[in-house]
Amino acid sequence: MQIKLFNIPVSDTGVLMDEMNTFLRGHKVLDMEQKLIQSDHGGSWCFCIRYIEGPHPSPVPPHGVHKKVDYKEVLSAEIFAIFSHLRECRKQLSKEHGVAAYIIFTDEELAGIAGLEELNEESLETVKGISTKKVEKYGKALLELYHLPEIVAPELFNASK
């Protein structure tokens, strides 16, 4: 076991805090104590970190990093065709609402929608990650775009969808 001390002034611009966070991400931390110290020079936080030497591989990807899924490999050809059409509908909604496409529905949610037996507002709520509020805000519009006859190729989609 090793010990490392970090003394970070309350007035730190973030540089010393970033240094400590980098250290923490790279080591297996066993324990950490913190204490606010007041002196004539101002206040500072003192961190005592007990850790194991050597890099610590993180079992969870860093915040905001997700493994990319190739839905063409994961979904059947029929479901992927529906998924692709849903992505086009989502893209149009994204432009209309002025928000990023993933805000409307994520690719994972669209894959779940594409696999539904019946495509309607009630069935959308059965997909993981889709709430009633999201269905109210974007679901109906997505379904309207999806069912437009000039957009949908009838040979790809059965009558229930």
Domain boundaries, the chain: 2-55, 71-146
Mean pLDDT for the chain overall: 83
Return the DSSP state at 137.
I
Q: Would you state the structure tokens that stand for residue 75, as one six-digit string? A: 């979904």
Which numeric CATH code is attached to 71-146? 1.10.150.80
Strand partners of residue 27: 55
154: left (phi over 0), alpha (psi -120 to 50) or beta: alpha
pLDDT digits (tens, 9 = 90+) for 32-82: 999 999 988 889 999 999 988 765 554 555 555 567 889 888 899 999 999
- Say if pTM beats, i.e. exceeds, 0.95: no
